[in-house]
Chain A
Amino acid sequence: MISKLPLTQNINAARDPVSLDDYQANHGYAAARKAVHQMTPAECLKVVQDSGLRGRGGAGFPTGMKWSFVPMENVSEGHKYLICNADEMEPGTFKDRLLMECDPHQLIEGMILSAWTIQADVAYIFIRHEYHLASKLLQEAIDACYAKGYLGKDIFGSGFNLELYVHSSAGRYICGEETALISSLEGKRANPRAKPPFPQVSGLWGRPTIVNNVETLCNITHILRNGADWYKTLGRGEDHGTKLFGVSGRVNNPGCWELPMGTPIRELIEHHAGGMQAGYKLRGFLPGGASTDFLVEEHLDLAMDYDVIGKAGSRLGTGTMIILDDKTCPVGMTKNLVAFFAQESCGFCTPCRDGLPWSAQVLDDLETGNGIPADLNTLQNQVRFIGAIGNTHCALAPGAMEPLASAMKYFADDFQAHIDGKACPYSTAISSASESAGVN
């Protein structure tokens, strides 16, 4: 009987890391061994395309389609690369860490399968510096695989070669943006690159490259292990498979759980997260991390599906939601979010580099009671200026405008109150110098 919650099937309550033996005891590496021996890359790609898997890194781009752009015939001399994006720095997001700290082999097998499908011979796991435990466990798991011949030359005796390296980053949220990540892997400043050309044709070192999120790659393991049809049975709604959903904020039981795609938001918050803490009411929430639009009570019964949340005016994003309660200042929260993005801007393009600090400045004025009525127009203008993909060089800045735009829509009264009352009506607001402090 195949688990309906495949991604976490091996993970226990104590979150002990799964050893290679335990992993193999539960069908581990069977799919990889089978694929490299019995399936052509084209067949593998077909399965992934049929599964309807959409990227779990935030953008929700169909994985099979992304892979299909990788040149397979008469490719010029040189490597192809697969990169696992384990930068997980989107505020409010804490799902990839779980997968890496608890079941590293699931990720490695997913990467072997993905590499085989696109015929990549070199792969990297780009992991944020702070994930020391995850890096250590991954490296041990990789060493074990090399020892067994699951990685390196002629893996599983198939003649297929795959080198896998862990690269620990040096900070900066922008490194999670796939082209910036590639610049960073090349040892450069992590400025994103213009697309086209897309990484699939000219990525790392100018070679065909695929970047996928940790969770996406873990899904690959099970899709190729159990097939597309099985995978499709997992979802509850439009989208297929399961997803790691999370809830943080003033709820009784914040956490991260694997649930079917399409699980209703209310179920997540009230059942899994145990509802709001005593004395706190729900004001709104960011459904999928810091760069998604606020949703509010009226949206509680929506299913956590990419297009459903999209139609509601937000994004599923990383699927880890942040709860705004009634005792927390929406303006303050928005300011914290925008200040984060301003601080993490790579500094390449104007709207982001200079526009975000300005937006943060205005929000800070509001928070500290120095706001003026014109500030609201300024903010609206900033949203138009920075908020659209294409206005900026990459998607960081538009992402930063999503919480701002939606906050001004749903919490307009709060913004007004800050100006009229020349102060923040919420007690929790303590402005902090921290956004500008740093050691480099």
Chain B
Amino acid sequence: MPTIYIDDNPYEVTEGDNVLKACLSAGIDLPYFCWHPEMGSVGACRQCALVQFRDADDQHGRIVMGGMTPVSEGARFSMDGMKASEFRKNVVESLMLNHPHDCPVCAEGGECHLQDITVMVGHRSRRYRGKKTTHNNQYLGPLINHEMNRCITCYRCTRFYNDYAGGTDLSAQGAHDHVYFGRQQDGILESEFAGNLVEVCPTGVFTDKPLVNDYTRKWDLQSAPSICNGCALGCNIFPGERYGKLKRIHNRFNNEVNGYFLCDRGRYGANYVNDEKRAKFSGLRSDDGRYNAIESKHAIDTLASWCNNSVGLAAIGSPRASVETNYLLRRIVGGKNFNNGNGDHQASLIDQIAALMQSSSTITPSMRQIESADTVLILGEDVTNTAPRMALALRQSVRNLAKKMAADMRISEWQDEAVRVLAQDRLSPLYIISMTDTRLDDVAKETLRTSPSDIARFGFAIALELDPSLDSVDGFSASEKQLIKAIADDLKSAIKPLIVCGTGCQDLAVIQAAAAINRALNNSQSMLSYCLNEANSLGVSLMQDGSEASLSELCDRASHGQIETLLIAENDLFRRAPKPQIKALISNVKNLVVMDCVDTATLAQSSLALPSSSFAEAQGTLISSEARAQRFYPVYKPAEQRQSSSHWLTQLGQKMSLSGFDSLTTFDDITAACAADFPVLADIVEASTNHDFRYRGMKIPRQTHRNSGRTANNAGLSVHEPQQPIDDDTPFAYSMEGSNGKQPATLIPFVWAPGWNSNQSVHKFQADAGGALTGGTAGKRLFEATADGSETSHYQIPPAFEAEPDHWRLLPLYKIFGSDELSALSPAVNELTPMPFVIMSIEDAQSLAVVDGDGVILSSADTEISFEVSVNLSIPIGCLGYSVGVPGAPWLAPASSVRIVKDQTWINRKIAHKVSEIVTEAGVSNV
């Protein structure tokens, strides 16, 4: 650890860091703009200037950029040296020449890094008397607002969007003081990570459009630590609320999980909670089929009597509900009457994954670990669409070769451009074997597109290449054999190889193949990562002892009149099984009770509907696909009779006077009870601290010190000053009183520090700038790789796929915008959601005489529905990819074989192309 001197005070700093990072870590407020802890330094803004002295005798010294200067033993610097402070002031003054000074109407105001730094350097009065340069703004889609005149040309946007996230449609244009950051023409930003520009831009050029359109200043937002519900990765988020409405989602730093970045599904997918249609009262269906609003107490009484007097009682949980909700539901009805709601096919995949994770000797990596992989094989997943944030991590992993080359040349990793220049387009190997083209293809060494069963076969062949003792797979072409060997060789020579698979192609063999490769690798550092779809997919799978009923079992029992009352928590069964099956189930039960935070097709069929609060108004534990248990907390009090499903269920259990329910007085009690009942979940209690946690006797505020007019929030409705809600179930207070800063990482409700109003203040919560939070890493991993070799290794190698005449094999295509139930209900995401579509090969399109934009009628065992056609270069002939779960698309049996005909009534929305052009277009645009 070298020692550097800043204004003659010694500081122990980290070897290899730059002086800017060292200063921030040491608690010295050295202003900066273009530097970013994840993206390194380029020296564009010149803001992080200090004076460096040759030695103790050097009186004058020279200006250097902290961000561009490596720390070295004994180096001497000064922050205050007139030179430096005047220089930093001049930089801000220059940046302000053309800035519009429109803070009052700027969405960044109050959390603007430019404002903070301007105040920090003490720039006050303006000397420039010339005209300002101005720019036109662009339409960038429903997510992001563009106001170029505020730009300070730090190049952070293009460095994130292009260099870090692999986007191509944003660029720096023009030169000298006319540099412009935008697209070539107006249009929707293509990257699924564009939303991060909102946080990466140090001022108000790129702002959160939904927030802008329903605006609240950061200091007026009430927030609490939460977990994204968009997929199973469990990214940490700060939802912000005002007036009972969720206003925006900001990134909550977690060094092991999402780091500094979110995907756009996560950032923009939570506004469904503001939907006016969400029920506020319990509804009891009368004989005429209409719902009557009833008191909660009445609802619970009715429900309790149904449950106590039912011939048969059963319940279906949900992978989008918390561990606690599922636990209570299961406990009320008993294991054998409970189904976890994953849907039978999904369940078979997830249960297999859960089993492998617990028995396997390979690491299930965190996203930070994924970034460290030096060779990657993606088996069957279109990661950007099934586990979006992981795709960004994989994009970083391919740069490990560049970082190694740089290290060999003694170029520091933070020397961002130098590292890129040195490596040019050399990347660590990443192979993709998938059903169709994916958004990571541009960084793939090689890609292969084929059917799920063949993806599995390739997997087993690679395993065989690594371990000749395994069962043989054959029937590969010479070039395919080459690829198999190449992949095996790269995986073998890698230090930290990573295999990515998951439920993306709904195929068990693919998962078993991935595991087989990892076993064959027999490398203690090798990693196997699984992409799962829902926030608690893994959690509900782990919460089983084998006694549980499958969904079809329950349907079966119902059809024999063995289920009189069926409880469903936060689950739309029509997304889990064929429509007829669910219809039958529902008509076969007498009392269908559904509690949910959104209005679903299932809820619409219920005899009793209970309004659950959303994730933003509730508390719960979720278990991510990395087996990390994480707690989310209510951001604000639910309106009217809404309460969390776990509250409804506790009350029900107590009303039914079930044993042990009386002792469930706090939420922590429920978590503890669940941990006690399920050994594998024992550690979920460590996912957070007890509700009675206090810092210096104080609760943690959900509101900033500056929260204004809180007590007058609804003065427009009533002059009576409402009392702030009391919260005795969490360490947080619905108030600005209290302390935020020294608590455990899981309990940080927002980042703010004196002088640092923007999200950049996160470094004040980190032990080392850019490193783990002072309060540790949020969440608790439930288990690590076991070397006991107990791993289940039995599998069957599926036969190769053969296209059958006028039948098509269904391939599931997940879309980041649309396939996830809840986020698709959010207006901004909904705007980007495609209408139900299918993709097919050119050959198939020609045989059906359809072109891009035409419609086809798909008929399977139990449905007939129309989809829009998109011709695709990469999908295998005889396969039909369809948009899974997007609004309007029915549940279709995985891997089923369907018939399609051209829909003559369909109107083609896309301009008619010549076939030749379709070919190339379909090739570049991934539907």
Direct A–B touching, Cβ under 8 Å: yes
B-binding residues in A (CB < 8 A): 172, 189, 193-194, 196-197, 201-202, 205-206, 342-351, 353-355, 357-358, 361, 365, 374, 378, 381, 384-385, 388, 390-393, 440
- What 4 A-B pairs are tightest by C-beta distance, nearest first? A354-B94, A361-B130, A347-B179, A385-B90
| Chain A residue, CB-CB nearest to B421 | A206
Most chain A CB atoms below 10 A, which of B46, B97, B98, B411: B46
A197 engages B153 (CB within 8 Å): no
B422 engages A202 (CB within 8 Å): yes
| Chain A residue, CB-CB nearest to B47 | A350
Does B423 touch A at the CB level, under 8 Å? Answer: yes
Known: A194-B415, A351-B90, A388-B63. A358 touches B43 (CB 8 A): no
Does B44 touch A at the CB level, under 8 Å? Answer: yes
| Chain A residue, CB-CB nearest to B94 | A354
Interface segment, B168-176, B323-331, B513-521, B811-819?
A: B168-176
B95 engages A350 (CB within 8 Å): yes
Contacts of A194 in B (CB 8 A): 42-43, 68, 415, 417-418
Complexed CA–CA distance, A205 and B422 (Å): 7
B128 engages A350 (CB within 8 Å): no
**A-B residue pairs in contact (CB < 8 Å), sample of 30:** A189-B175, A194-B42, A194-B43, A194-B68, A197-B411, A202-B411, A202-B418, A342-B176, A345-B176, A345-B177, A347-B174, A347-B178, A347-B179, A350-B45, A350-B94, A353-B94, A353-B176, A354-B95, A354-B97, A354-B98, A355-B90, A357-B130, A358-B97, A361-B130, A365-B129, A385-B87, A388-B62, A390-B63, A391-B63, A392-B46
A361 engages B95 (CB within 8 Å): no
Contacts of B128 in A (CB 8 A): 358, 361
Contacts of B62 in A (CB 8 A): 388, 390
**14 other A-B residue contacts (CB within 8 Å) besides A189-B172, A347-B176:** A193-B421, A194-B415, A194-B417, A194-B418, A205-B424, A206-B422, A342-B177, A344-B176, A350-B91, A351-B90, A353-B179, A358-B130, A361-B129, A381-B90
Complexed CA–CA distance, A355 and B94 (Å): 6
| Chain A residue, CB-CB nearest to B178 | A347
Complexed CA–CA distance, A344 and B176 (Å): 6
Complexed CA–CA distance, A189 and B127 (Å): 32
Known: A355-B94, A391-B63. A350 touches B421 (CB 8 A): no
A351 engages B91 (CB within 8 Å): yes
Does B64 touch A at the CB level, under 8 Å? Answer: yes
Contacts of A357 in B (CB 8 A): 97, 130, 176-177
Complexed CA–CA distance, A202 and B406 (Å): 10
- What per-residue 1/0 map shows which CB atoms of B162-187 lie under 8 Å from chain A? 00000000001011111100000000
A353 engages B177 (CB within 8 Å): yes
Known: A350-B46, A390-B63. A172 touches B94 (CB 8 A): no
- B residues 131-186 with Cβ under 8 Å of A? 152-153, 155, 172, 174-179
Contacts of A390 in B (CB 8 A): 62-64
A351 engages B176 (CB within 8 Å): no
Contacts of A343 in B (CB 8 A): 176
Contacts of B415 in A (CB 8 A): 194, 197
| Chain B residue, CB-CB nearest to A355 | B94
Does B38 touch A at the CB level, under 8 Å? Answer: no
B43 engages A197 (CB within 8 Å): no
Interface size on B, residues (CB 8 A): 43
| Chain A residue, CB-CB nearest to B426 | A206
Does B12 touch A at the CB level, under 8 Å? Answer: no
Contacts of B553 in A (CB 8 A): none
A-binding residues in B (CB < 8 A): 42-47, 49, 62-64, 68, 83, 86-87, 90-91, 94-95, 97-98, 127-130, 152-153, 155, 172, 174-179, 409, 411, 415, 417-418, 421-424
Complexed CA–CA distance, A392 and B128 (Å): 20
Complexed CA–CA distance, A283 and B44 (Å): 38
A391 engages B43 (CB within 8 Å): no
Complexed CA–CA distance, A206 and B421 (Å): 5
Contacts of A206 in B (CB 8 A): 421-424
Most chain B CB atoms below 10 A, which of A206, A393, A440: A206
Q: Which of A193, A346, A361, A385 lies in contact with B176, CB distance below 8 A?
A: A346
Contacts of A189 in B (CB 8 A): 172, 175
Complexed CA–CA distance, A388 and B60 (Å): 13
| Chain A residue, CB-CB nearest to B62 | A390
Most chain A CB atoms below 10 A, which of B128, B418, B421, B423: B421
Distance between B576 CB and nearest chain A CB, rounded to angstroms: 51
B409 engages A350 (CB within 8 Å): no
Contacts of A374 in B (CB 8 A): 127
Complexed CA–CA distance, A388 and B415 (Å): 22
Complexed CA–CA distance, A2 and B424 (Å): 47
B44 engages A197 (CB within 8 Å): no
Complexed CA–CA distance, A197 and B172 (Å): 24
Distance between A402 CB and nearest chain B CB, rounded to angstroms: 17
Distance between B42 CB and nearest chain A CB, rounded to angstroms: 7
B155 engages A348 (CB within 8 Å): yes
B94 engages A349 (CB within 8 Å): no
Distance between A202 CB and nearest chain B CB, rounded to angstroms: 5
Contacts of B49 in A (CB 8 A): 391
Complexed CA–CA distance, A349 and B152 (Å): 10
Contacts of A348 in B (CB 8 A): 44, 155
Complexed CA–CA distance, A194 and B179 (Å): 20
Most chain A CB atoms below 10 A, which of B49, B176, B409: B176
Contacts of A392 in B (CB 8 A): 46
Contacts of A391 in B (CB 8 A): 46, 49, 63, 87
Distance between B69 CB and nearest chain A CB, rounded to angstroms: 10
Distance between B117 CB and nearest chain A CB, rounded to angstroms: 12
| Chain B residue, CB-CB nearest to A179 | B421
Complexed CA–CA distance, A374 and B409 (Å): 50
Q: Which of B90, B130, B418 lies in contact with A193, CB distance below 8 A?
A: B418
Complexed CA–CA distance, A438 and B800 (Å): 62
Contacts of B155 in A (CB 8 A): 348
Distance between B202 CB and nearest chain A CB, rounded to angstroms: 13
Known: A206-B422, A361-B129, A378-B127. A347 touches B177 (CB 8 A): yes
A346 engages B91 (CB within 8 Å): no
Complexed CA–CA distance, A348 and B409 (Å): 26
Complexed CA–CA distance, A345 and B175 (Å): 7
Contacts of B98 in A (CB 8 A): 354
Contacts of B179 in A (CB 8 A): 347, 353
Known: A197-B409, A206-B422. A349 touches B90 (CB 8 A): no
Complexed CA–CA distance, A338 and B270 (Å): 52
Contacts of A353 in B (CB 8 A): 94, 153, 176-177, 179
Complexed CA–CA distance, A343 and B133 (Å): 13
Contacts of A350 in B (CB 8 A): 44-47, 91, 94-95, 152-153
Complexed CA–CA distance, A193 and B418 (Å): 8
Complexed CA–CA distance, A354 and B91 (Å): 9
| Chain A residue, CB-CB nearest to B92 | A350
Distance between A358 CB and nearest chain B CB, rounded to angstroms: 6
Contacts of B43 in A (CB 8 A): 194, 349, 393
Complexed CA–CA distance, A344 and B95 (Å): 18
Complexed CA–CA distance, A238 and B598 (Å): 86
Contacts of A196 in B (CB 8 A): 411, 418
Distance between B863 CB and nearest chain A CB, rounded to angstroms: 52
Distance between A433 CB and nearest chain B CB, rounded to angstroms: 13
Complexed CA–CA distance, A373 and B63 (Å): 28
Contacts of B421 in A (CB 8 A): 193, 202, 206
Complexed CA–CA distance, A337 and B153 (Å): 24
Distance between B389 CB and nearest chain A CB, rounded to angstroms: 30
B94 engages A201 (CB within 8 Å): no
A349 engages B127 (CB within 8 Å): no
Complexed CA–CA distance, A351 and B174 (Å): 18
Contacts of A349 in B (CB 8 A): 43-46
Distance between A419 CB and nearest chain B CB, rounded to angstroms: 14
Distance between A349 CB and nearest chain B CB, rounded to angstroms: 5
Distance between B606 CB and nearest chain A CB, rounded to angstroms: 60
Most chain A CB atoms below 10 A, which of B44, B91, B177: B177
| Chain A residue, CB-CB nearest to B176 | A345
